[in-house]
Structure 1
C-alpha cells in the first residue's frame, strides 16, 4: 500500500487538492499495479510563517 505525504504551503483550493489526490492515485495504479483503494495520500498545509527557503521565511517580503 503506497502512502504519500505531501507538504505544501497553505492556500491551495479543495479542487486543487482533489485533483492532486486523483492524479497521484491514477499514476500509482498505472506504475505500481495497485488498486486505487490501497493508495493513501496525506496532505499537510504549512503556514508561510513556518516555511523558509534560503534563510528567509516565506511570510517575509520576497525580492
Structure 2
C-alpha cells in the first residue's frame, strides 16, 4: 500500500491532521483496496518563508494589483 506525503503550511492542529489522516486512509482503502493499517501518511509542516510560488515567497506581503 502507499505512503502518502502531505506538505502544507505549518499551523494546522493535531485534530486537523488526525481528521485528514482518517479521510485520506478511508479514500485510499476505498479506491485501492487493502487495509487501513497498510496506509502510511507523513505530514511535513513548511514555514511560509520556505515556500514560493511564481517566484515569490508566501511570507512576503501581498502586492496590491497594478492599475
TM-score, normalised with respect to structure 2: 0.88
Shift of 1:40: 0.1
| Residues 1:4 and 2:4 aligned together | yes
In structure 1, the partner of 2:56 is 56
The CA deviation string for residues 19-46 of structure 1, in whole angstroms up to 9 with x for no partner, is: 1100000011111111000000001000
Aligned pair count? 63
The CA deviation string for residues 3-58 of structure 1, in whole angstroms up to 9 with x for no partner, is: 10111111111111111100000011111111000000001000101001111111
Aligned mates of 2:7, 2:56 — CA distance in 1: 18
In structure 2, the partner of 1:26 is 26
- The ranges of structure 1 where at least 4 consecutive aligned residues each deviate by more than 4 angstroms after the TM superposition are none
Rg larger in 1 or in 2? 2
TM-score, normalised with respect to structure 1: 0.93
* Unmatched 5+ stretches in structure 1: none
